Structure 1
């Protein structure tokens, strides 16, 4: 997989071997895993493409100027003009190939006329760190009718403090500017432990201080009623949506996007958006 240059996040070579698979909690969630993507069917090559050519009357070819269709014979009706080309099937999203339909799925927030795209992630997940530059590049061209939302996954253990940290940063207005930096602190600088150990609220508060947070206020906010409520809501959402790995992309709460690679997943997000926009 290639990392695009849209983000400042640079991954250490030692970490790259860990990033080939999506992250999962140490104990599987109760949700059923999504079925693997079926390979796309290969279209058969038409006969004309492998050497067969329609017969041409030599006399008609000589009498017809190059690039012009031959005139109809006397008494014959002219051939109708060809119909306009239909949109390529590659622009459509297909259930089972590009996405799985989530039974009873609901958006994270009321849609209010928007198309919602959610990334379920966690900072401790190496695959999410690898995915982030692609997300940044995609977000830079986000259409006006699409709303993008991060939902941190509380899979338990050392994943959970980072859910609280994300919502504390959101409450303090620094979630956007600190997002890439926390990935960097865990997976490149290794100043935070991530999955390698347990980071205390004070450890996390010191990391967020680089982005303008007061450490004491940050640690207090992590334990606040507001953050506890958002933590519970995130947990309810990923259970309802049957998310058992990160990163996971979900459109309108109903379409869990699939892909053979991270690049393929982002292309399929765009396919699903186009289909939802068209009323499909």
Structure 2
């Protein structure tokens, strides 16, 4: 009886393994639906030959993004040369001033002056409202960081920023982004993590998977 029961259990175990995603049985240990979601027809935000792209969708007003920023900041500085890391502000609405401020600072080559200080202004110093801050308030904040206020305002309201807001929203919708922070690997995978460290661990394994498969 025990032998027959053991044999039956082995059959069930092998049947269960057959249902696991191939990648989970290939060695990286990741399971689709548990560690990541495959994005149907997913494409990178910005294709670069020979590069694996990692995108963090974030929002300045997001408390979790503020907590995650020191970790992801250190992590991305140590990435190999064939990994292209990009921040993407969560343009959930066309009027999101925080997303517009990010794109404006990027267009002005000033992210090193504004990105982390913006998190600090909102979540530590509370010199900018977490929600509902206006374009003018962001411009005033960035003037305090040494940028020209008029240039910031012009960049935030420019047609180029309008287009980038729309493109960001299209990418987020195609990738199934519903919350921040969200990590997207090569446009193909949306990471599911149960902690900040888990997000980065799974991202690293998916990057390795894409590297082994050959980038597009």
Short-chain TM bin: 0.7 to 0.9
Q: What is the rounded CA distance, in whole Å, between the counterparts of 1:211 and 1:92 in structure 2?
A: 45
CA deviation profile, 1:36-63 (whole Å, cap 9, x unmatched) = xxxxxxxxxxxxxxxxxxxxxxxxxxxx
Q: What is the rounded CA distance, in whole Å, between the counterparts of 1:121 and 1:152 in structure 2?
A: 5
Q: What is the rounded CA distance, in whole Å, between the counterparts of 1:107 and 1:168 in structure 2?
A: 22
Q: Answer yes or no: is the 8 Å Cα contact 1:111–1:252 preserved in 2.
A: no
Structure 2: gaps of 5 or more residues: 1-24
Q: Answer yes or no: is the 8 Å Cα contact 2:55–2:88 preserved in 1.
A: yes
Q: What is the rounded CA distance, in whole Å, between the counterparts of 1:234 and 1:250 in structure 2?
A: 13
Q: What is the rounded CA distance, in whole Å, between the counterparts of 1:202 and 1:259 in structure 2?
A: 36
**Change in CA separation of 1:177 and 1:94 when aligned onto 2, cut-off 3 Å:** farther
How far 1:112 moved relative to its partner? Answer: 1.4
How far 1:139 moved relative to its partner? Answer: 1.1
Q: Which has the larger radius of gyration?
A: 1
Q: 1:210 aligns with which of 144, 151, 154?
A: 144
Stretches of 4+ moved more than 4 A in 1? none
How far 1:165 moved relative to its partner? Answer: 0.6
Q: 2:121 aligns with which of 185, 195, 199?
A: 185
**Are positions 1:260 and 2:194 aligned together?**
yes
Q: Answer yes or no: is the 8 Å Cα contact 1:119–1:151 preserved in 2.
A: yes
Q: 2:110 aligns with which of 151, 174, 177?
A: 174
Question: What residue is the counterpart of 1:241 in the other structure?
Answer: 175
**Are positions 1:154 and 2:91 aligned together?**
yes
- Cα RMSD of the aligned pairs, angstroms, is 1.8
How far 1:146 moved relative to its partner? Answer: 0.1
Question: What residue is the counterpart of 1:163 in the other structure?
Answer: 99
Q: TM-score, normalised by structure 2?
A: 0.83
Structure 1: gaps of 5 or more residues: 1-87
